[in-house]
Amino acid sequence: MMRTRPLKVALLGCGVVGSEVARIMTTHADDLAARIGAPVELAGIAVRRPDKVREGIPAELVTTDATALVKRGDIDVVVEVIGGIEPARTLITTAFEHGASVVSANKALLAQDGAALHAAAEAHGKDLYYEAAVAGAIPLIRPLRESLAGDKVNRVLGIVNGTTNFILDKMDSTGAGYQEALDEATALGYAEADPTADVEGFDAAAKAAILAGIAFHTRVRLDDVYREGMTEVTAADFVSAKQMGHTIKLLAICERTEDGTSVTARVHPAMIPLTHPLASVRGAYNAVFVESDAAGQLMFYGPGAGGAPTASAVLGDLVAVCRNRLSGTTGPGESAYAALPVSPMGEVVTRYHISLDVADKPGVLAQVATVFAEHGVSIDTVRQQGKDGEASLVVVTHRASDAALGGTVEALRKLDTVRGVAGIMRVEGE
Amino acid sequence: MMRTRPLKVALLGCGVVGSEVARIMTTHADDLAARIGAPVELAGIAVRRPDKVREGIPAELVTTDATALVKRGDIDVVVEVIGGIEPARTLITTAFEHGASVVSANKALLAQDGAALHAAAEAHGKDLYYEAAVAGAIPLIRPLRESLAGDKVNRVLGIVNGTTNFILDKMDSTGAGYQEALDEATALGYAEADPTADVEGFDAAAKAAILAGIAFHTRVRLDDVYREGMTEVTAADFVSAKQMGHTIKLLAICERTEDGTSVTARVHPAMIPLTHPLASVRGAYNAVFVESDAAGQLMFYGPGAGGAPTASAVLGDLVAVCRNRLSGTTGPGESAYAALPVSPMGEVVTRYHISLDVADKPGVLAQVATVFAEHGVSIDTVRQQGKDGEASLVVVTHRASDAALGGTVEALRKLDTVRGVAGIMRVEGE
């Protein structure tokens, strides 16, 4: 049954992920061949720095000319693990033009130009697979676009960035502040020297765009995703969260709006109940919680980054794409037929935890409650704590739109008796 | 792009799952058509009791002649949700012979005759998909056989039976005994009138056989799976488990042996650390923990049974099989190339928690420790509690083979100072 002519793979990038892909392709060549039905051969590896020592990587395969590699014409599958927009985008498009299918781990590119890349793949009758682009090794793209293809997904709630989960978990378990926890993450290699992409939520927002697109069969671009980082989360926020039996996670949230006519996608820190399965996701692990009509509540958990886990996802895609080529077909392409509008953040409906510094005198609570009522935001609980003429008021609301909450907060700031709004955090997962 | 001639589906069985499949196929026909690329039509529904009132099921589709339905010749996909060995097996085989692909939720049949059914599918160039056979709605078969196709799975550790997890969770959280918890499960509809298949581990063993087969690319039959039910688990066992920071779950465990030359599959109650992700799986939920070389530790969580969740898995498969038919191909078939031997239970290596009732006099611990040493079973911890001339000794071992542990226990029973072996439980997940 086994074909003897090997399928040829071009690897673009040989960093943490690429070198693991190359290593596994070499050491597990027999298993891959048996699972695909034909041997796979690493035909070339494009790198930026050809002189770097790469253990186990055959020097004769290394080239700095990625364009020539994807243009060779005999390449079956291009594996793109360079990251970033260019040259990855041009190389992928060129690969399709020259007859190759593509496996990519590039979340930024998929989130920004997914539609165009899918169109290019389809125009050339090729596959574009990208399981590794979201949540590393965790099978998520395939379950969403294949296993749940007969179901209606209503919500995706995910911890999709390991760096920020490590930091928040550290703050939660030790009472540390943000900076202290970030420093530890950096020292341990969980955070990069410039942690902006992680802590400001850019990385999670790209993943949210990809997940929302697949979950709702609708094109969702990075620009459609509301994004708020987690650098403002304080130790005091964790104390507040604990008081109501919650913890704080940076979440990527993709939802259908209540009437089902549009969708939303957002990334921000949020309080979630300790009883929620996502609450116990520790350290740099990722997990994605999916709610659908028929399946109910599902969760997928695992390492969201790292060379070997990401390589596992890349290789799973490589096996699938190779099998498709052998049988002369392609897997499921982009599914955007639903084409639902993406609503702005103001229309997102959720609950809020608001801490106010107020004057400790009679009537303050009545004033504050009036402002909430005037803006149509219903209060669930209020907790009042006072000392020395100063007091704090913690309000947890029922569900209200982001716009209504914004209006409420603006009006609260204008009250004489409100000294300041110490914190606003969304409450999710209930 | 959309083909107008519909794909025809024959539904075998219209119980809890089948009626949900029919309902979703009707109410979500447009979504299914868009995702498949062609409309799907319910062409016939085979039932045992044609007179039963089935809301929303068109009476003209209902037939009692399942054989005639699968032999029609114009059926693209047969969905088998009857369960049990016969007539399901013959109907599936007949379906392949008459040109249909098959989606099945039948764990018992797949565990017993999976190899023959896969061979029949392959001989006729048809698909056999069965995501719903293991852990209901949780995508598990597809991630294992596709997402992890480029990785090496070393262990699968799963809570794959919701009834027993409900009972054990109840015992854990309330201190109830087995019978009391079972009665509650029965009253709430989580346990059947005859709970044998669940509580004796038969259901979980069938799933273990299927999971082991896929994970290790090796045929594993139901007979290969060691099986021990959970009817002997007591409230006292939970007290012991808590004392060491553990809880008790009924686990399906599929592992490579340490030298990698064989595999094992087993179902039995086990203590697992409270910090293990499986420990917090509550109620009737299922979860499966997978360890692989590159991906590391993954977990898949969700509802393991029920009409709608199981229908979600069936419909995901239906979409995939329909897509395959449209593109004239088939998905991945059985992968059993590794053909590793399945080792007997005696060769399984794990840790053990053993409670002994002993005489409260000097030298007992020395005697007991000598027996362990003589059988090559190394002791991790011993806890001794004495009162009124009676004492109990709780021994937790290091890793040892089941055969060595069995020999140890046999020898312990012969000691004059050992009044009885109160309990033996395996310790997993560390």
Query: Which pLDDT belongs to residue B305?
Result: 87
- The whole-angstrom distance between B290's CA and the closest CA on chain A is 9
ipTM of the complex: 0.93
pLDDT of residue A430: 81
- Cross-chain residue pair A298–B28, CB shorter than 8 Å: no
Give contacts of A 33-72 with B, CB under 8 A. Answer: 34-35
pLDDT at A1 over 80: no
Token readout for A403 is 């716009």
| Dihedral sign of CA atoms B211, B214, B220, B222 in order | positive
Task: Record the tokens describing residue B231, joined without a space.
Answer: 């009817």
Kindly report the nearest CA distance between residue B153 and chain A, in angstroms. 11
* pLDDT level of residue B39 (50, 70, 90 thresholds): very high
Confidence band of A56 (pLDDT split at 50, 70, 90): confident
Domains annotated on chain A, with CATH: 7-137+307-326 (3.40.50.720), 141-303 (3.30.360.10), 348-427 (3.30.70.260)
Helix (H, G, I), strand (E, B) or coil at A78: strand
pLDDT, tens only, B64-89: 999 999 999 999 999 999 999 999 99
The stretch A364-379 carries a mean pLDDT of: 95
C-alpha torsion angle, residues A345, A347, A349, A352 (rounded to 10): 50
Which of A20, A34, A152 shows the shortest C-beta gap to B294?
A20
For A115-128, the pLDDT digits (tens) are: 999 999 999 999 99
* pLDDT tens profile B272-296: 999 999 999 999 999 999 999 999 9
Average pLDDT for B147-165? 96
| Inter-chain touch B142–A138, beta carbons under 8 Å | no
How far, in Å, are A165, A326, B309 from residue A288 at the CA level?
A: 13, 33, 18
Weakest-pLDDT range from B19-33, B44-58, B167-181: B44-58
% chain B with pLDDT above 90: 90
If we measure between CA atoms, which residue out of A51, A55, A30 comes closest to residue A41?
A: A30
How much of chain A exceeds pLDDT 90, in percent? 90
Q: What is the DSSP string of B65-133?
A: -HHHHHTSS--SEEEE---SSTTHHHHHHHHHHTT-EEEE--HHHHHHHHHHHHHHHHHTT--EE-GGG
What one-character-per-residue DSSP string does A92-133 give? HHHHHHTT-EEEE--HHHHHHHHHHHHHHHHHTT--EE-GGG
Chain B residues 380-409 with CB within 8 Å of chain A: none
Give residue A354's pLDDT.
96
Comparing B386 with B100, the larger pLDDT belongs to: B100
- Of A1-5, A271-275, A292-296, A353-357, which range is least confident? A1-5
- SS3 at position B304: coil
Read off the pLDDT of each residue in A87-102 and give the average, rounded to a whole number: 98
Confidence of residue B1 (pLDDT cuts 50, 70, 90): low
A316/B contact by beta carbon, under 8 A: yes
Enumerate residues 6+ apart whose C-beta is below 8 A from A388.
Answer: A360
Q: Tell me whether A32 touches chain B (CB under 8 Å).
A: yes
Would you state the pLDDT for residue A57?
87
The CA distance from B150 to the nearest CA of chain A, in Å, is 5
Whether the pLDDT of residue A226 is over 70: the answer is: yes
CA distance B42 to chain A (A): 14
Put simply, the answer to whether B313 touches A328 (Cβ < 8 Å) is: no
Query: Which residues of chain A neighbour B31 with C-beta distances below 8 Å?
Result: 152, 217, 338
Task: Read off the pLDDT of residues B226-282 as tens digits, 9 standing for 90 and up.
Answer: 999 999 999 999 999 999 999 999 999 999 998 889 999 999 999 999 999 999 999
B134 touches chain A (CB under 8 A): no
Q: Of the residues B71, B207, B387, B414, which is catalytic?
A: B207
pLDDT per position as a tens digit, A258-304: 888 999 999 999 999 999 999 999 999 999 999 999 999 999 999 98
Do A379 and A395 touch, CB atoms closer than 8 A? yes
Tokens of A293: 């009509």
Closest to A149 (Cβ–Cβ): which among B146, B292, B319? B319
CA distance B348 to B425: 14
The verdict on whether A207 is a catalytic residue reads yes
User: What is the C-alpha to C-alpha distance for residues B230 and B250, in angstroms, rounded to an integer?
Assistant: 7
Q: pLDDT > 70: what percent of chain B?
A: 99
Residues of B in contact with A298 (CB under 8 A): 137-139, 300-302
**Which pLDDT value is given to residue B56?**
82
Question: Residues B329-368: pLDDT tens digits?
Answer: 999 999 999 999 999 999 999 999 999 999 988 889 999 9
